[in-house]
Amino acid sequence: MLKESPADAQIVSHKLMLRAGLVRQTAAGIYAWLPLGYRVLRNIEQIVRDEQDRSGAIEMLMPTLQSAELWRESGRYDAYGPEMLRIRDRHDRDMLYGPTNEEMITSIFRAETRSYRDLPRTLYHIQWKFRDEVRPRFGVMRGREFLMKDAYSFDIDEAGARMSYYTQMLAYLRTFQRLGIQAVPMKAASGPIGGDLSHEFIVLAPNGESEVFYDAAYEGFDWHQSDIDYGDERDLQRLFKQVSDTYAATDETHDEKQWGKVKEANRRTGRGIEVGHIFYFGDKYSAAMDLKVSGRDGHEVTPLMGSYGIGVSRLVGAIIEASHDDAGIIWPEGVAPWRVGLVTMRADDQPSREAAEMLYGHLLGAGVETLYDDRDERGGAKLASMDLIGLPWQLIVGPRGIATGSVELKKRSTGEKHELSIESALSRLVGA
């Protein structure tokens, strides 16, 4: 079986994911999510789902395997290169492992929808995809089997399609903010129909695949402010204008003249990792696959579509790239596998163990997700593990402190430590 050691890993997130036991490679570019990694993956997935739901998108689930027939309808079966994993079933039917779902959603929508009254509609699913990369690398950042959220919007006209696009843009900004990362929407190079409606969401990280340029104003925006309402078209237009007016571009779309207009102190450059992409493509699939609905005036109309992807499994790596130090991962609060790591410095010390168990009971009782490391190992090694796996808070119980009723609370992101009474340590963790 294919083994992979942290030493083989080329980038820091991959090394840390292997060292911390988040994933294990089971074939080239294919990973099993170990319990610790799976908790993070599910937290990310749940934030993505929440924000899709809030935006009015409706969840469904399409299967991983698709029939080749569907892709012949759009003409992509032959056009798609060797990254498409082609499969033949026992009856010699051509199948494939879906790398994306435009064809399938169009065919489902075609079968289920008859009238303009069912539009606008945005449907999404969170499902495993496969792209047979020639040289998978960077761990889950460029794996072959990966988890993606993909949404598809259907509108009756271009004005409506714009609103669907703006709605997803806002959902993305809110999603990434809740994930605790700075993902900046950057104009993407778009095909003939994209116009201004194509953005990549990029997280700054030294190992990023592309060069990015953006206005530091993005760092101050709060996308969760209550005066932006999905139901209000003017709010959405204002949001889109704000994004369009605030410079951000990859090297592909970079414009030196516009860049020159950004205040010098505000110019941020670096490398970035793409974690999302939103894209309007008009009637590309609906026309090719003959999707029509009856319009208001009784005539048939070809709906206009957009697609909206977030790389859910890739985000685990991207967040680590953006948030770590020499000692290990630093999880943002929203995605951490547990909020608190509880450590006894000496598991064989009776008063320490009793205090730790009492603390554990209180934290669980108060709904604070806590990992309790009661292993009989050296205290130093246990603290190093806690730094490595990156929980936001460490609650450390040692014989010396317990003798005077105190424990140590450490904040992983800053390294700040405080010696506190048991009561105030608890109230900080439960209250916050």
Residues lying near its own copies in the complex (CB under 8 A) are found at 1-3, 21, 24, 26-28, 30-35, 38, 41, 58-67, 69-70, 73, 82-83, 85, 87, 89-91, 93, 95, 97, 104, 107-108, 111-112, 123, 128, 130, 132, 134, 144-145
147: Cβ contacts below 8 Å, ≥ 6 apart: 41, 45, 126, 127, 128, 129, 311, 312, 313
Q: Which is nearer to its own copies, 107 or 406 (CB)?
A: 107
Question: From the CB of 84, what's the least distance to its own copies, in Å?
Answer: 9
Q: Which is nearer to its own copies, 133 or 209 (CB)?
A: 133
Question: From the CB of 342, what's the least distance to its own copies, in Å?
Answer: 18
CB atoms under 10 Å from CB of 226, counted, come to 6
Question: From the CB of 364, what's the least distance to its own copies, in Å?
Answer: 13
Q: Which is nearer to its own copies, 35 or 367 (CB)?
A: 35
Q: Which residues pair with 305 in a beta bridge?
A: 154, 282
Q: Which is nearer to its own copies, 126 or 248 (CB)?
A: 126
Question: From the CB of 70, what's the least distance to its own copies, in Å?
Answer: 6
Dist CA 263 CA 308 (whole Å): 31
Amino acid at 209: E
Dist CA 154 CA 305 (whole Å): 5
Phi first, then psi, for residue 405 (nearest 5°) are 75, 20
Counting beta carbons within 10 angstroms of the beta carbon of residue 247, is it exposed (0 to 12), middle (13 to 18) or buried (19 or more)?
buried
Measured CA angle at 88 (ends 82, 91), to 5 deg = 165
Dist CA 134 CA 422 (whole Å): 54
Strands of 286-430, DSSP E: 293-294, 300-301, 304-311, 324-325, 328-329, 340-344, 370-373, 393-397, 406-411, 417-421
CB atoms under 10 Å from CB of 48, counted, come to 26
Q: Which is nearer to its own copies, 74 or 198 (CB)?
A: 74
Question: From the CB of 33, what's the least distance to its own copies, in Å?
Answer: 4
Q: Which is nearer to its own copies, 33 or 154 (CB)?
A: 33
Q: Which is nearer to its own copies, 17 or 104 (CB)?
A: 104
Is residue 293 within 8 A of residue 300, CB to CB? The reply is: yes
CA atoms within 13 A on the CB side of 210: 19
Element (H, E) at 149: strand 145-155
Three-class secondary structure of residue 165 per DSSP: helix
Question: From the CB of 351, what's the least distance to its own copies, in Å?
Answer: 24
Question: From the CB of 296, what's the least distance to its own copies, in Å?
Answer: 14
Question: From the CB of 172, what's the least distance to its own copies, in Å?
Answer: 21
Q: Which is nearer to its own copies, 198 or 370 (CB)?
A: 370
Question: From the CB of 31, what's the least distance to its own copies, in Å?
Answer: 7
